[in-house]
Amino acid sequence: MGKQDDFDAQLRVKDDMQVVELQAPFRGTNYKVCSDGKRLSGNFNKPEITDDQITLTGFLYTDISCYEYDFKQKQAVEKELNYEKPVCLVFKRELGSGDYKREIDDFRLLKFVFEFVGKEGEFISIPSLPLADADYGDFRNSVLKLHSDPALEDPIGDWNLLTATPPPKVLSNGNKVDVPPRVSIAALKEDEDSEIIEKLKALSTPALGSGKGRYGGESTSERLSSRLKWLSENADNLIKCHEEKFSEILSLEKFIEMVSR
């Protein structure tokens, strides 16, 4: 148990799929996994990308700490991610709701990163992909157009430098040591990776909507029904939570509106 800020992601199950939604600290504008310098590793289907959300469906090997929020205990409860089962990894452009909604700074760059990753093919192996923007150097500057320097306006060239194998490093004693590329990705091959490809083909991304709402992917009537059922089941705990933690800054009506979005 602990605070939501202690965890990398919120875990839920939808359509028998582990949905891992990356989180940022309260009021923070960077995903925790990016701030911690974690690197993504796994085998995935081609990324699905919209203006508001990035999703990767497949098998994750990166250590991600996950939680579910327990309203009875009024705190985040640690949930173990089953790495033998598939996951749907979700990066949202915005997190929070109401007065606490904020845009995540990492999303803009990662959207470009995963667009380039997706060009590898329909089935992708990611041995090592950094998530912190500091690891992307000139590629970051070229895709985000942060500088007017013409030398920083070649995203494809900058990406190729990131994924290329650098020359060996020469040690003081003259020995050479191999240096891995900063970004390591590759297309899975039908003849060599048929087993994992068949597993990926069998997966489908659950309906998560546009990334803007908690109940995305449902019709209006389904969304209202889900919301009313959830509010009814959690009414007593929501009132207690409001009285103990939020009554001084939010009315009960505003608090209910915020948590039910």
Cβ contact 58:87 at 8 Å: yes
CB-neighbour burial class of residue 146 (10 A; exposed 0-12, middle 13-18, buried 19+): exposed
- pLDDT digit string (tens) for 12-63? 988 889 999 999 988 889 999 999 999 999 999 999 999 999 999 999 999 9
The alpha carbon of 78 is separated from its chain's Cα centroid by a whole number of angstroms, namely 18
- Domain ranges, ordered by start, for the chain: 4-211, 218-261
pLDDT attached to residue 67: 92
Tens of pLDDT, residue by residue over 12-23, are 988 889 999 999
Higher pLDDT, 6 or 81: 81
Whole-angstrom Cα distance, residue 89 to residue 21?
Answer: 6
Prediction pTM value: 0.77
Task: Report pLDDT for 250.
Answer: 67
Query: What letter does residue 27 receive in the DSSP assignment?
Result: T
Centre a 10 Å sphere on the Cβ of residue 8 and count the other Cβ atoms it contains: 24
